[in-house]
Structure 1
Amino acid sequence: MRRGDERGGALLDALLEGRPDPGLAARAASGLDLPERGRYAVAVLRAGLGGPAGVAMEADGLRFLRRRLRADRECVVVALGDRDPAALVALLVRCCPGPGGIGPVADGLVEVGAARRLAELALLTCPPGTTEIVRLEDRLPTALVVSQPELSARLVADVFGPLLALDPADRALLVRTLEAWLECGGSAGRAAGRLYCHRNTVLNRLRRLERLTSRSLSRPRELIEMMLALDAFRLTAPHP
């Protein structure tokens, strides 16, 4: 049994690494008792599901194959069958402290390696201190930012340079105002309700932000730059 578990673990590791072996998927399907061309999701979790990271477990009708990628990350390959990936998200939210990233659905074991790499990218879109479980499809613009750290740093410096020179409390106030405004669909009134201040206060802060960044929130291209810079800033700013 131990040799069988070790072989199963080795096969799963090879799939997750995406080794270019034409016969690997077929051998893994046989060794792990899985369909070679089934639907699979891959999640990378910072804290993991708890307990020893063995080869297999089942929950809510989903079969999980778990491997420890490194000390601070666990990888979970899930045989979805005909289930929606949203069911996996709901399950992980209930049983995992997060954060975690889930890649796109893999159509067969041969695509598990690529799904694992994209799941790791999805995990990188979770700002420090958060506990969310996110799907890559919901974070594509942010994933583009984090996939290019050198360009992300340059974007933050170029767009938010004057903002970074402010007192930390002042800077945090302007950033939070921009976040609230964006989350409220560009409504200053709704953002004011979320921030417990007057609508004019929100507008004044946004105008100040526009002056500091030399960008207008009413120009689509400049708004996109601000949004991407905000994502990059949130992912790299120090957190308590």
Structure 2
Amino acid sequence: MRQRGNERGWALLDALLDNETGPGLAALTATVLGLPEAGRYAVAVMAPRGCPGPVRRTTGAHGLRFLWRPRQDREIAVVALGEADPAAAAAHLTDRVPGPGGVSPAVEGLADLGRARRLADAALLTCGPGRADFVCLDGRIPAALVAGQPTVSAHLATDVFGPLLAREPADRALLVSTLDAWLECGGSAGRAAVRLCCHRNTVLNRLRRLEELTSRSLSRPRELVEVVLALDAVRVLPGGGAV
């Protein structure tokens, strides 16, 4: 009877994760699995590793509770957050589970698990080749939008960075690292120069070279958006190349 109850509970949880709705579905799932219906939750997803393992429950720091639901196409963890945030769940998983993986923002209640699972899938798409950690969607939404539209994004990457990608790897890496530093420093060439241990004019000269190669001006907001999205596309799309 206990086994049947567990199987019923996992089936109900699957229905919520697949975004099925119905009167009392969340409440029934909460009762069968012993979960708070209105608690704070996140969902983590990762690629499957061989045959699906057993369903299980684990705990972590900060009061985190994990309900693992392996599937053929992905492995899913429903995370009861308590007072923690999704970043704590991502850090816990990175330390203990082979990635890459994506973690959704927090949702309020079991009824929102389907939306959380889709957001976690979007976060997973932003993990480029060679990445092995778990990433939160928050802060990576532009990259998730790019990864979700691979055909358009691949065209944008080629259109913006085609000439740059044709250059020598060392020169390409130098220009892109300068762009990264400039973006992280809020568009300040002086602060970027400190970070890169070079002169401010060196930063400006490299950015001008980048503008020439991309045919985009970093001082025009729309063209800057194209450059940033194209950079995300190169990094997250399969076969996008290294920059």
Q: Same fold (TM over 0.5)?
A: yes
Partner of 1:67: 69
Cα RMSD after superposing both structures: 2.6
Residues 84 and 169 (structure 1 numbering): CA distance in 2 closer, same or farther, change over 3 Å? closer
Partner of 1:178: 179
Partner of 2:123: 122
The Cα of 1:173 is off from its aligned counterpart by 2.8
CA distance in 2, matches of 1:190, 1:107: 40
CA distance in 2, matches of 1:180, 1:38: 39
Partner of 2:211: 210
Number of positions where the alignment pairs a residue of Structure 1 with one of Structure 2: 236
Contact 1:47/1:98, CA 8 A, preserved across alignment: no
CA distance in 2, matches of 1:47, 1:169: 36
**Structure 2 letter corresponding to 1:32:** L
Partner of 1:54: 55
Partner of 2:241: 238
The Cα of 1:52 is off from its aligned counterpart by 4.7
Q: Which runs of 5+ in 2 are unaligned?
A: none
CA distance in 2, matches of 1:98, 1:190: 34
Partner SS, residue 94 of structure 1: helix
User: In terms of mean alpha carbon deviation, does 125-134 or 212-221 score higher?
Assistant: 125-134
**Structure 1 letter corresponding to 2:175:** L
Partner of 1:142: 143
CA distance in 2, matches of 1:185, 1:53: 47
CA distance in 2, matches of 1:156, 1:113: 31
Q: Which runs of 5+ in 1 are unaligned?
A: none
Partner of 1:164: 165
Residues 69 and 121 (structure 1 numbering): CA distance in 2 closer, same or farther, change over 3 Å? farther
Matches within 5 A, 1:13-52: 13-46=14-47, 52=53
TM-score (norm 1): 0.84
The Cα of 1:196 is off from its aligned counterpart by 4.7
CA distance in 2, matches of 1:182, 1:217: 10
CA distance in 2, matches of 1:151, 1:126: 18
Contact 2:55/2:67, CA 8 A, preserved across alignment: yes
CA distance in 1, matches of 2:118, 2:23: 19
TM-score (norm 2): 0.83
Residues 46 and 168 (structure 1 numbering): CA distance in 2 closer, same or farther, change over 3 Å? same
Q: 1:108-161, CA deviations, whole angstroms, 9 ceiling, x for partnerless residues?
A: 211101100111101212222223432222212222222222221121122223
Query: How many percent of aligned residue pairs carry the same amino acid?
Result: 62
